[in-house]
A and B are shown apart, each in its own frame.
Chain A
Amino acid sequence: MSARTRPITTTAGTRPFAFSEAALAECKALMARYPEGRSKSALIPILHIAQSENDGWLSVNAMDAVAHVMGLQHIEVYEVASFYSMFNLHPVGTYVLDVCRTAPCMLRGSDDLIAHLEKKLGVHCGETTKDGMFTLKGVECLGSCGTAPMLQCGAGYHEKLTIESADALIDALRARNQRTNYTDQ
């Protein structure tokens, strides 16, 4: 199976989903900025909004709400959501740590960083800590090769990481205990 088609979650955590009013207005504005009849172009930006409003992942209910707002078939939304790796198709922790693992980062120590984070958090890449605080993900090149090793959390890039600075970051995030999203300002 191609890594580009990942299964969607149809059972776990499927609480109801509805866009906030502000988000709905943003969706409408996005759809209106393309030429007539081309509002489907807004699908990826709108999926980002839905993910941010659904604790960082896309449940079937969230994707169905996107389909409803955009006037699309459900499958048109599922097939796109399952293609792009930034869309989480399972529940995730308060913080998703996207650690770059690609060759240029590897040359500057990302293997050690990932091994350390796995040990510190007690999870493997792809898993969430028992307290629901952190999801650790190994991701492909984030365009930060000159400042490697690094990780992304929400919209923020944390670069030139050492074991110490990574520990400090984890501690600070844990203390703040506030969800981050890619769409954060």
Chain B
Amino acid sequence: MSRKLLFEHIATPGIRGLEGYRANGGYRSVEKALRTMSPEAVLEEVKKSGLRGRGGAGFPTGLKWSFLAKPEGVPRYLVVNADESEPGTFKDRYLMERIPHMLIEGMITSSFAMGAHTSYIYIRGEYFYVARIIEQAIAEARAAGWLGKNILGSGFDHEIHVQVGAGAYICGEETALLESLEGKRGNPRIKPPFPAVMGLYNCPTVVNNVETIAAVVPIVNDGGEEYAKIGIGKSAGTKLISAGGNVKRPGVYEIDLGITCDEFINSDEYCGGVEGRAFKAVVPGGSSVPIIPYELFLKTATGESRLMTYESLADGGFATGTMMGSGGFYAYNDAQCIVRSTWNHARFYSHESCGQCSPCREGTGWMEKILHRLEHGEGRSEDIDLLWDVQRKIEGNTICPLGDAAAWPVASAIRHFRDEFEYHIRFPQKVKDPKHFEKEPFARNPKFATA
């Protein structure tokens, strides 16, 4: 049974309102930080906790905060990334709509550590109704004196604004998000300068994911060392995983980092196993991370149990491993077609490319077209090699990671399921039925797949 730090009270009636939240220990971290700690001491606890960015990149949070430039007379900003658009990921929405005050509490405590007097929540436009819930919670917090001037008589002032987007995956990339927040197209900026030096309105800015900021609450309440006791090595604390696809029990689960992948997928506490049919493959961290066949998810190439940690999921590199990513987890049963799914992924990235860098703008469109014809029984013998060539020329050649994110799902699908791609070229008539593997699952050759 994993410990619940963020979700301890998620099912408690009334937890969405300030009264219920406060009655269950809410805003204690603000009291503790503002009354008994210095900003540096809060930063120190976050560093000790080993918390890593929960949006996908996994960068150490305390280190990111420590990069924040502090020139005299220049405002600093905290921007919370609630753009959650990585396919498979719905954990932040779940947290915000059920326990919105936890995000606000984390923002006040974190802003105190940074010396930021204004912070923004950039929330994807589709989550308009969630933005209303957050705005309501902000109004409650302000009326009760948790926001505004001189909070708790500490001399610390803070205001939070909610900003809605309007539909663009790329705005989850932190510099595109800042552009969007400034009222522009979401084109990522060239780094350096990094946001910590030149971010929102050219001022020093920290951009953190919703879950990261929420995790600051238990870290400050119980101390960074307590938090770091959970997990294994550099994967400390708990992580929200949103499980979907063909699992029996889809939903958002808070896990101790370090449980086995087998436990996560098969235990009734979490996914409860794969629905109806045989387990075929998994995307464990959002569509951008490599897809892997089930046997490589359960065990590493060297035969060890794979764990739900940043390191273990990446064990074996891209040859046999994958990534933790955002925790957007989805499983495939054997009725699913990997080529169809890869085409779907490619269509997504082609639609979402901002168009700024040629390799991504053009390459994602090419991949989509090639995969479309493969899946629709019009594939050519050279298509698999062509796809490989295109994805290789996108990876690493773009300003932001969207190019890599578009390339990896294609590369991993070919790497592990090349025989399935070949089947599509050999049997075009069979794959013209969109449900070609429903009656007769594709007979994978695992030996070939992991070579």
Contacts and interface: CB of A to CB of B under 8 A. Distances in A.
Contact of A103 (B128, B164, B180, B287): B287
A140 B90 contact: no
Contacts of B340: 106
Interface stretch (A118-126, A127-135, A147-155, A170-178): A147-155
B85 interface: yes
A133 B352 CA distance: 28
A136 B84 CA distance: 23
Interface in A51-85: 79-80, 83-85
Interface string B226-254: 00000000000000001111100011100
Contacts of B93: 143-144
Interface centre among B86, B161, B167, B186 (most CB of A within 10 A): B167
Interface of B (DSSP majority class)? mixed
B87 interface: yes
Top 7 A-B pairs ranked by shortest CB distance? A2-B355, A84-B166, A145-B244, A43-B183, A86-B167, A146-B250, A85-B167
Interface string A22-53: 00000000000101001011111101100000
Interface string A80-103: 100111110000000000100111
Interface size class of B (residues with CB under 8 A): 35 or more
Given A40-B183, A143-B126, A84 B434 contact: no
A155 B129 contact: yes
A146 B242 contact: yes
A12 interface: no
A156 interface: yes
Contacts of B126: 86, 98, 142-143, 152, 182
Contact of A107 (B186, B336, B352): B336
Interface stretch (B58-66, B211-219, B302-310, B343-351): B343-351
8 contacts: A2-B355, A48-B166, A84-B125, A85-B167, A102-B344, A103-B283, A103-B344, A155-B128
Interface size class of A (residues with CB under 8 A): 35 or more
Interface of B: 75, 84-90, 92-93, 118, 124-129, 132, 161, 163-170, 180-186, 201, 242-246, 250-252, 283, 287, 328, 330, 332, 336, 340-341, 344-345, 348, 350-355, 361, 434
Interface centre among B124, B125, B132, B361 (most CB of A within 10 A): B125
A143 B128 CA distance: 12
B13 to A, nearest CB: 22
A154 to B, nearest CB: 9
A3 B353 contact: yes
B84 A143 contact: yes
Contacts of A14: none
Nearest to B350: A3
